[in-house]
Amino acid sequence: MNIVTRAKAVVFALSLGVIGGAGAAQAETTVVVGYQQIVGPFISAIADGSFDKAVAADGYKIDWRQFASAGDISVALASGNVAVGVIGSTGATASVTRGVDAQLFWILDNIGKSEALVARNGSGIEKPEDLKGKKVAVPFVSTSHFHLLVALEKVWNISPRDVTILNLTPPQIVAAWERGDIDAAYVWPPALSKIEKTGKEITNSGEVGKASVPTFDAIMVDRKFGQDNAKFMASFAKVLAKAYADYKENGAKWTVDSPEVLANVKLIGGTPQDILDAASLLEFPTADEQASKTWLGGGAEGGAARAFAASADFLKEQKQIDSVLPDYAPFVNATFAEEAAK
């Protein structure tokens, strides 16, 4: 299966969307930001208007656009009207390897147990070997897709050709699951929370990551946009830093009635309990942690750069990309997190 592209039309790109006269002193610059159905403080900050208020003071307006999967957001990024986009570490690796001049500037979350392979009750799947001949759904060009293939080939020694792997978005997975059209699915919340109610977990990305490489959700920015719009990036990163600090201090106290939880439900769906369950499986690094060697800092020895390199090696083995870059550090930028942490 092709992780990077399902069709020739899918090309990775990040660029700036501007509305109004950019050269006019009073002009308002509209920045298109793409995001996905991913639980956490980032979504809460979108919903409560924190980002909008912060960047408005600098003359910016954000056009928020939600996408159903990494594949969809990749196509949208290729349209040339997105400056900042949320994409999984696998898609981000493929993107920069193929020549997109973008940088990772924030770890949205460390995925861990929040992405899992679940077999539907009655499917006959009790162990990995039972996946042979079964229909398994996963959003293509996603971290779930990457770890599904890693698990099959590297962990269980099962050829992907022995499994019917279907490209479905999370909402489509839920619908197909309820109809009984698929036997298993590898996906994230809120879809994961729904299918787990009538299924059995076979593995998760925490387990697969330990046996291979970890995956994470990334926020990428077009390099030129980031350089030319320092005020926007500073304000955007400060909102992220505050939201993630608040979660570290108060996240354990979230309840089904918390405004942050209800904000997540409003933007990405699911139930309040689904949001709480999903958030408990994720890790949300603070600004200090983001800037450290564990993630964005440390150059080529930093966690994100090493994860990119390891993902690229696998993608090349799978013939998803033609070559691996000698250094992925130039595509990781810790500057905004460092400034936001001060």
pLDDT per residue over 167-219, tens digit each?
999 999 999 999 999 999 999 888 998 999 999 999 999 899 888 777 899 99
Question: What is the full DSSP assignment across 217-284?
Answer: EEEEEEHHHHHH-HHHHHHHHHHHHHHHHHHHHHGGG--TT-HHHHHHHHHH-S-HHHHHHHHTT-B-
For all residues of the chain together, what is the average pLDDT? 88
What's the pTM value of the predicted model, to 2 decimals? 0.78
The residue type of 49 is G
Residue 236 has what pLDDT?
98
28, 96 in Cβ contact below 8 A?
no
Tens-place pLDDT, residues 13-49: 344 444 333 444 457 899 999 998 889 999 999 999 9
88, 213 in Cβ contact below 8 A?
no
Tens-place pLDDT, residues 234-288: 999 999 999 999 999 999 999 999 999 999 999 988 899 989 988 998 999 999 9
The domains of the chain, with CATH numbers, are: 29-111+214-341 (3.40.190.10), 113-211 (3.40.190.10)
What's the rounded Cα separation, in Å, for the pair 3 and 62? 30
